[in-house]
Amino acid sequence: MIDLLTAPFVEFSFMRRALAGCVALSVGAAPVGVFLTLRRMSLMSEAMSHAILPGAAVGFLWAGLSLPAMTLGGLVAGLAVALLSGFVARSTVLREDASLAAFYLISLAAGVLLISARGSSIDLLHILFGTVLALDDDALVLLGGIATVTLVGLAVAYRPLVMECVDPLFLRSVGRASGPVHYGFLALVVLNLVGGFAALGTLLAVGLMLLPAITARFWALDLTGLMPAAVILALIASVAGLLVSYYASLPTGPAIVLAAGTLYLASMLLGPRGGLVWRLLPARHLEA
């Protein structure tokens, strides 16, 4: 049994690289996902993951499948969409989710058209779904750097981020930290989506960010438990997805996200913090 779990990573360097990349993604993206869910911004991250596509497409047109060019383009596009949607929400009658949805659809269509203009269907699939088994040294350095910046950023802004989750109006009333914290957090979201794009593609980049964070709600009640639980669940999903893809010859990115989805479904049923099975059990005396 142990050999089945360890043999792919011992024998093949590409599996070790994929595991290292997934570990970096799990450590950086899962805590960001926890704050997204607490702030009711889960669907916003899905829109942002597609917003980086036109920037990555421009990088592809400029330098082919070059990780630095596509990463820089995706980062610029993601930040631009985040800032533009916020500006439109503050300057017009539209709410931020509506303006973000509009920019997301425009970005997705523009990115697909740009890639199709020069690349093949294989290039398009590579960008949309990623190639986690083909991570090289540059990609691992990028993912490790993003995870480091994310953890440092969350540590520095931890208290105002928590305050904004609990009572954003109070944070605005006691100081000027609300704006910088909000946009700094959006920058961390975009940064992790760009890192996820390098491994899982634009369509699945948000998978390791949101699913473990959502699942963690069935195992912990507060941030001190939610963030470690989300990271652990993301790591389990990564290892399980890599092993399933290896032994069943399945696409790796979808296998990792489906593994995270399986953990969510199992936790929804069996999780000790509000799982369906626990809710069906008769409550103890004076606990109904």
Could you read off the pLDDT of 19-56 as tens digits, one per residue? 999 999 999 999 999 998 888 777 777 777 777 888 88
Q: Looking at residues 211-231, what average pLDDT do you find?
A: 93
Residue-level pLDDT at 40: 78
Spell out the domains of the chain, with CATH numbers in brackets. Answer: 2-280 (1.10.3470.10)
Residue 148: predicted pLDDT: 96
Which pLDDT belongs to residue 274?
84
85 and 107 Cβ atoms separated by less than 8 Å: no
Question: How does 193-215 read in b/e, with b if 16+ C-beta sit within 10 Å?
Answer: bbbbbbbbbbbbbbbbbbbbbbb
Q: How confident is the model at residue 220 (pLDDT cuts 50, 70, 90)?
A: very high
Say if residues 198 and 253 touch (Cβ distance below 8 Å). Answer: no
Report how far residue 116's alpha carbon sits from residue 118's, in angstroms, rounded to the nearest whole number: 5
As given in the structure block, the two tokens for residue 235 are 């790591």
- CB burial of 138-159 (b: ≥16 within 10 Å; e: otherwise) equals ebbebbbebbebbeebbeebee
pLDDT > 60? residue 168: yes
> Alpha-carbon distance 49 to 53, whole Å?
8
Residue 103: pLDDT band with limits 50, 70, 90:
confident
pLDDT band per the 50, 70, 90 thresholds, residue 284: low
> In whole angstroms, what is the distance from residue 237 CA to residue 156 CA?
28
Q: Which helix (H) or strand (E) holds 45?
A: helix 42-51
Dist CA 71 CA 279 (whole Å): 45
| pTM, to two decimals | 0.86
